[in-house]
Each structure stands twice: as C-alpha cells, then as structure tokens.
Amino acid sequence: MKTIEYYLGLPYQLIVTPDDEGYGVAISELPGCFTHTEKWEEIPEMVREAMGLWIQVMMQEGKTIPEPAPDRIEHPI
C-alpha cells in the first residue's frame, strides 16, 4: 500500500499564481488541492502540508490518488 510520504515524493506539477497578497499554488494532478502563502520561500512547506492533507482525506475515503505522468523530469518538493 502506498503511503502519504510516497505521494509527497512524486514530482507533481505546481501552478503558482502571484496575487496582491502573495502566491496561490495549485497542484495540477490533484483536483481541488491548493494553498496560498504570502512569501515565495514558504511555498514548499505550504504545498507539502496541503498535499498531505488532501492525500490523507482521499485515502480515508478510499479514492484513487492520481500520480504525475511518468515522463515528468522535475524534482519533487
């Protein structure tokens, strides 16, 4: 069985959108998984937290957790 840590180690695509209050970040392969932070340097921590909670809920509900395409070459968070 795959763990939350397994999924957190995968190279998901982040979509970062600057706004007047900082940065909104969505994880494209995880529908509805997003976060917001005021500081650029906080993005990795905030994304990891949001992804962890999203994945935990999906696991509890017995739902499939999408993985990034196998041809992705970016590094995980």
Q: Tens-of-pLDDT digits for all 77 residues of the chain?
A: 899 999 999 999 999 999 999 999 999 999 999 999 999 999 999 999 999 999 999 999 999 999 998 765 555 55
**Structure letter (DSSP) for residue 52:** H
Q: Give Cα separations from 56 to 16, 39, 40, 42, 70 (angstroms).
A: 23, 25, 25, 21, 23
pTM across the whole model:
0.86
Extents of the domains making up the chain:
28-61
